[in-house]
Structure 1
Amino acid sequence: MLTFPNIDPVAIALGPLKIHWYGLMYLVGIGGAWWLASRRLQRFDASWTKDTLSDFVFWVAMGIILGGRLGYVLFYDLAAYIDNPLLVLRIWEGGMSFHGGFLGVMLAVWLFGRKHNKSLFELLDFIAPLVPIGLGAGRIGNFINAELWGKATDVSWAMVFPTDPEQLARHPSQLYQFALEGVALFVILWLYTRKPRPTMAVSGMFALFYGIFRFIVEFVRVPDAQLGYLAFDWLTMGQVLCIPMILGGIGLIIFAYKRQEVAQQ
């Protein structure tokens, strides 16, 4: 069994001001994606300036934060937030939904695209390979917060999390998600985009592999206490939300290549 590092969730404390590692991970994710986007900017659209990219990153960041928080409220714990609406503001305590952030980003990208004469999928294909940076950083934030841990297990790399009232050795599912949603997904998309791909294909690859990776990890991750399992003593909300992503990803890839074949005829 491995020892949990028990890092203080507060990275910097300046009197009443506290900067949490979880919040810093968002800055790392957005900053890293921004840097890589600037490296790929000329390849994407030579007419875009750094200011255009900065505006785009701001819109995407707002989509992540607002969509992620509202998604968590709607999908995972609506009753608690109805009882105490101010909980919505306490982002530093966690409680962000990837699927909500995903929808928030799609909306932000669509609105930005209308303003700059870019289609939704042109922009989504551009940012999809960059998203795993933020996903991986976010999972490290979950690990530092000792939240979203996995089921009890006897594997040699199990950990006892200080936030676990039962103090059982558990799967470090946050690190599994870091490895799959962060590292593996980044490598897959980065290699896939080394060659030009038809519009929608990159977005489809992102949706497909994120959905698969998340669906798999949910088997060893403890579901949110307020929801539990939705069916069959194993189906979680995360898995339910991943099913349309997997199917949609497959559909986008097939449609993208079929449309390319028709265009080339």
Structure 2
Amino acid sequence: MILITGATGHLGSATLDFLLQKRPAAQVAALVRDEHKAVDLKAKGVELRVGSYDDPASLDRAMQGVEKVLLIAGTDEERRVQQHQNVIDAAQKAGVRWVGYTSRTLKDRATMANQLMEGHFQTEDYLKASGLAYSLFRNVLYLDAVPQFVGPQVWDKGIYLPAGQGRVPFALRREMGEALATVLAAAPPARPLYTLTGSESYGFADVAAALSDLSGKPVAYTAAEVPAFAQQLQGRGLPETVVERIIGFLTDIKNGQEDQVSPDLAHLLGRKPTGLRAGLKELYKL
């Protein structure tokens, strides 16, 4: 039995869809907080196991008879590390053979501007020390996140971000889900580390050029300075903690933390991952 946590989220559901193409539904289980939100999974024959990262007893029940667990990183950034530890502890107690964890591709833990990402590394450390067989999936920034970064007024105002000339080998979330499913469906052992990125890195100037080409409307990229950008975010009423988080994320991009190209995603897909232009065309329906 293969258990996927966070099964109703974007990455979890994408992974499940591809896994069901490779394994019978009777071999797949989904950890969900609310089974009423997972009726589509149940209809596909997936076994629902109700539980929460915050409820160790529910995790103990969910792990029964499970051979492999894919731990999708939680979204509660303040409690995430403890939540992940709860899942790993339950897997260890139940005799699970292997745990995969969806981490992040950041080059240097010691120099990250966005310290919230430290939780991923702390989870990695805990999983390594657990004695369980494991795989770390260090995922690059989703190409799907680009529309959120550049904003809904990109056609009128262009792209204004403090990311300098930083580059990211963006990849589509659904292709990451496909790659994760490939590892989950394969016979063990899996590798201890997969770095899942696109095949080429791009800066936001490349994003602007691609959007200009696809839409026929000029889109410019302006490398903003942090104080002016922060003032703009504050003017939109965003809390200071959110402003700091956004700036930390973009500062890491500017400093090259995300600029690491790996062949792992292409190898698992059996093809070259979707590139920037084709991905933006799909996301923006251009």
TM-score by length of 1: 0.28
Higher strand proportion (structure 1 or 2): 2
Higher helix proportion (structure 1 or 2): 1
TM-score by length of 2: 0.26
